[in-house]
């Protein structure tokens, strides 16, 4: 018997933790050397142990399981000299051996198993947390991509109407808006000066109907380079009932009614 065969024979005993220190060290060294055959056998033995821990009393083990159990229990047997035993191994029904083996394995392995289960549960929780974070990132990316696609469609669709918004202050750049009858309104600008702290820009819809108030649409703010792009998916009024779009500067959060004169106004023809 070469050393590999010898280790192979001891795998079950090793798996239930019944090997003495020198043998255990030898088999661990052999496993560490990368023997795939023994590693697989160990994995099988551990699976077997985990199954035994949950074996229902009336479940009939397969022939393979029976064979392994008997071998495992016999491997434990030398502690009791056979001639002193009133019951010969051959006369003991397999199910009794199976029961003894299950109890033995269960007691030896319940602690090991519990620890393994605990770490498996921790791993699963960690995995679930990672997956949740990834899904959230993906959902955010999807929302952003949908908005971008929606904006791009408004800017490129032939049904959209372009509205230029010249600035009241000649030093300020002009803004431009695009209104699509079904998809909404987009407004964008470049080189817009940075706003004060806690200030935003707000887009308003000025209705044609005499005496009606400007309707607040959306707030936005330019980035460090003065660029912005904002979208209104559901304008409160139809294009035909709108006189103009206007932009004012407002406190952060926006206002119900404009608090200052419009900085940009673009009329609809």
Contact residues: Zn ion, CB under 5 A: 4, 35, 37-38
- In the complex with Zn ion, which residue's Cβ is closer, 35 or 215? 35
Residue 133: C-alpha distances to residues 119, 127, 140, 147 (Å): 21, 10, 11, 21
Of 78, 69, 58, give the one whose Cα is nearest residue 100. Answer: 69
Euclidean distance between CA atoms 213 and 91, whole angstroms: 100
CB 223 within 8 A of CB 189: no
- In the complex with Zn ion, which residue's Cβ is closer, 8 or 188? 8
- In the complex with Zn ion, which residue's Cβ is closer, 45 or 230? 45
Alpha helix stretches (DSSP H) within 16-93: 21-32, 36-53, 63-76
Kindly state the smallest distance separating residue 39's Cβ from Zn ion, in Å.
8
- In the complex with Zn ion, which residue's Cβ is closer, 28 or 157? 28
Copy the structure tokens of residue 207: 């209705």
Kindly state the smallest distance separating residue 4's Cβ from Zn ion, in Å.
4
Phi, psi of 258 (to 5 degrees): -60, 135
Q: Beta 175-180 vs 161-165: how paired, if at all? A: antiparallel
- In the complex with Zn ion, which residue's Cβ is closer, 4 or 213? 4
Half-sphere exposure of 194 (CA within 13 A, CB side): 5
Kindly state the smallest distance separating residue 30's Cβ from Zn ion, in Å.
6
Classify burial at 245, counting beta carbons within 10 Å of its beta carbon; exposed 0-12, middle 13-18, buried 19 or more. Answer: buried
- In the complex with Zn ion, which residue's Cβ is closer, 6 or 136? 6
Euclidean distance between CA atoms 187 and 232, whole angstroms: 9
Kindly state the smallest distance separating residue 127's Cβ from Zn ion, in Å.
32
Kindly state the smallest distance separating residue 118's Cβ from Zn ion, in Å.
30
- In the complex with Zn ion, which residue's Cβ is closer, 7 or 204? 7
Residue 143: C-alpha distances to residues 102, 138, 235, 251 (Å): 54, 9, 20, 27
- What radius of gyration, in Å, describes the C-alpha atoms of the chain? 39
Kindly state the smallest distance separating residue 80's Cβ from Zn ion, in Å.
29
Kindly state the smallest distance separating residue 108's Cβ from Zn ion, in Å.
23
């Amino acid at each position: 018997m070469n050393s590999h065969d010898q280790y192979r024979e001891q795998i079950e005993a090793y798996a239930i933790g019944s090997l003495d220190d020198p043998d255990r060290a030898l088999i661990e060294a052999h496993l560490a050397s990368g023997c795939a055959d023994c590693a697989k056998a160990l994995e099988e033995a551990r699976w077997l142990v985990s199954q035994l821990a949950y074996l229902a009393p009336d479940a009939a083990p397969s022939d393979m399981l029976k064979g392994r159990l008997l071998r495992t229990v016999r491997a434990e047997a030398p502690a009791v000299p056979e001639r002193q035993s009133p019951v010969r191994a051959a006369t003991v029904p397999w199910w009794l051996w199976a029961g003894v083996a299950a109890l033995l394995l269960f007691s030896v392995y319940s602690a090991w198993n519990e620890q393994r289960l605990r770490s498996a549960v921790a791993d699963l929780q960690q995995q679930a947390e990672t997956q949740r974070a990834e899904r959230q990132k993906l959902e955010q990316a999807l929302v952003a991509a949908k908005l971008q696609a929606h904006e791009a469609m408004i800017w490129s669709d032939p049904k959209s109407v372009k509205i230029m918004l010249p600035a009241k202050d000649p030093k300020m750049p002009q803004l431009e808006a695009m209104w699509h009858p079904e998809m909404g309104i987009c407004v964008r600008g470049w080189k817009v000066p940075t706003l004060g702290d806690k200030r935003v820009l707000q887009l308003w819809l000025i209705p044609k109907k005499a005496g009606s108030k400007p309707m607040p649409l959306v707030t936005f703010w330019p980035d460090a380079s003065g660029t912005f792009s904002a979208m209104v998916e559901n304008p409160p009024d139809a294009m035909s009932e709108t006189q103009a779009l206007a932009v004012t500067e407002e406190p952060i959060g926006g206002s119900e009614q404009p608090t200052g004169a419009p900085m940009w106004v673009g009329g609809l023809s």
